[in-house]
Amino acid sequence: MNNSNNSSTVLVAGATGFLGNEICRQLIAKNKNVKGLVRITSDSNKVAQLKELGVEIVEGDLKDKPSLENALHGVSAIISTVSSTLSRQEGDSIQTVDYEGQINLINATIAAGVSQFIYVSFCGMPGQFPLQIAKRKVENHLTESGLNYTILQPTYFMEVWLSPALGFDFPNTKANIYGEGKNKISWIAIKDVASFAVAALDNPAAKNAVIELGGPEALSPLEVVNIFELTKEKKFELQFVPEEAITAQRDEAQDPLSESFAALTLGVAKGSEIDMKNTLEDFPIHLTSVNDYARR
């Protein structure tokens, strides 16, 4: 644990995830005391990484209410990035983790007398689907909780949606383009979302606020391909996936996660622009561009 003069301790829920790990890293860099909430079944390498950073590890599970009481002991603020979408274990689902688990954490926060709760959600997407319904219910519960809350609503993470895992195979200069690829998205970097979460702890502009987050510029998927082609000096092979096909995938989905994933993919086709001008006046964070990401 970081021994700084700052006696307040921040608990990061979802500490072993990409975003949670980056939030821990930035908090430690700011000399904050940090607890990382991990499960007994969490990846031991990721837990070891957190310890190396100087994070105090506490075991708990959002699905297990009693485990949260102990985790919240001596904590002054919580940042929750927990989601079942990328890393899931047995018993994890949108219902048990993204909805009930987050509600458990908020309720435990109130019971423990912790005053501040920062929740990483996502910005409004077209249509209703299980993940969006869960997120909005949690947001409503949080805004009515009496806690000092901040709800961060980032748009699409560039490291996730502009990666080979989701069809943007830049190492092999191939890309799936959802829809016509002409609607603009304010792609955001994971480290920038982490910076907003960390800044929200001490910034009065974050108090009881819902803040939409995007990157420095809105670019269509075809414009993104163009940036990567210039960086790699090589043409990309494009595969267009029509909106109708994605809609059919969503409507025929057999489970809430598949339905939500198809709905998010449809959101890529429809675009997601966030104007950051006013937000950056309150939070002067230097945003990562797609160009920076392509070069990296």
The string of pLDDT tens digits covering residues 152-190 is: 999 999 999 999 999 999 999 999 999 999 999 999 999
pLDDT score, position 257: 94
Give the number of other CB atoms < 10 A from CB of residue 293: 19
Q: What would the mean pLDDT of 128-141 be, rounded to a whole number?
A: 97
CA–CA dist 100, 106 (Å, integer): 10
pLDDT top residue among 42 and 247? 247
The residues, any chain, with a CB within 8 Å of residue 41's CB and separated by 6 or more, are: 89
pLDDT score, position 85: 77
The string of pLDDT tens digits covering residues 95-118 is: 989 999 999 999 999 999 999 999
Q: Average pLDDT, whole number, for the chain?
A: 94
Supply angle C-alpha 60, 88, 290, rounded to 5.
110
The string of pLDDT tens digits covering residues 20-47 is: 999 999 999 999 999 999 998 888 999 9
At residue 1, does pLDDT exceed 70? no
Q: What does pTM read for this prediction?
A: 0.95
pLDDT score, position 86: 66
Q: How confident is the model at residue 5 (pLDDT cuts 50, 70, 90)?
A: very low
**Cβ–Cβ < 8 Å for 95, 63:** no
Q: Which of 71, 41, 78, 77 is nearest to 56 (CA)?
A: 71
pLDDT score, position 6: 44
Q: Which of 143, 163, 162 is nearest to 153 (CA)?
A: 143
pLDDT score, position 41: 85
Q: What would the mean pLDDT of 219-225 be, rounded to a whole number?
A: 98
pLDDT score, position 2: 41
